[in-house]
Amino acid sequence: MDLILEKELVLTAQSSKTNVAIPFSVQEDYQALRIEFEYGPKVVEDPEMKRTLLEMCAQKYMEESERPGKIEIDKYKNIVNLITVSLDYEDHYLGCAHRQDPVQVHRITPDGSSPGFFDCNIEQGEYRIVLNVHSITGKEVTCRVKVYGEGGTESDRISAI
């Protein structure tokens, strides 16, 4: 397995509702592409931040007469950050993984890609992972992306030794 890309990014609330492109080049043909993606924190744990966010939502989405005087944060489920991942090759969309999990592994192959991704050959060329930043509700979120090529010429030579 050849490491093709390793990237770490820190995203803030200003990144919400944006797409962050991470371009990378594949230098040889592979049997599969493996994408490892993780981000954190997933849940906003700070009670004061949670209260502030809930109050902002109440002001934005509730009529003034319906807003509670003091928000009881324990009544509400977790407030979470949400980032999903998609993949492009040259000018072709190869699919996406709109999952809630903060740790994900996806494989793209000609005969059985992870759900959400098209089955396709992994050829030399320009690829792009796109982080779909749905919501950053905390101060910041750290994202890590690794891309591996599986079964390429270099891998075949190593396994043959």
pLDDT tens-place string over residues 43-102: 888 877 877 787 777 777 878 777 667 666 677 778 889 999 999 999 899 999 998 899
**Whether 147 and 93 share a structural domain:** yes
pLDDT digits (tens, 9 = 90+) for 6-56: 999 999 989 999 999 999 999 999 999 999 999 999 988 887 787 778 777
E strands present in 13-159: 18-26, 32-40, 82-89, 92-97, 103-108, 125-135, 140-150
pLDDT for res 51: 77
Phi and psi at residue 57, to the nearest 5°: -65, -40
* CATH code of the domain containing 154: 2.60.120.380
**Whether 28 and 58 share a structural domain:** no
User: Range of 70's domain?
Assistant: 44-79
pLDDT for res 64: 75
**Whether 129 and 93 share a structural domain:** yes
**Whether 73 and 95 share a structural domain:** no
CA distances from 42 to 3, 38, 61 (A): 26, 10, 23
**Whether 92 and 144 share a structural domain:** yes
**Whether 72 and 110 share a structural domain:** no
76 alpha carbon, distance to own chain's centre: 25
pLDDT for res 161: 33
pLDDT for res 156: 44
**Whether 56 and 111 share a structural domain:** no
Helix (H) or strand (E) holding 8: strand 2-12
pLDDT digits (tens, 9 = 90+) for 101-156: 999 999 999 999 999 999 999 999 999 999 999 999 878 999 999 999 999 765 44
Q: How far apart are CA 38 and CA 143, in angstroms?
A: 6
**Whether 60 and 118 share a structural domain:** no
pLDDT for res 157: 36
State the total domains in the chain.
2
**Whether 13 and 24 share a structural domain:** yes
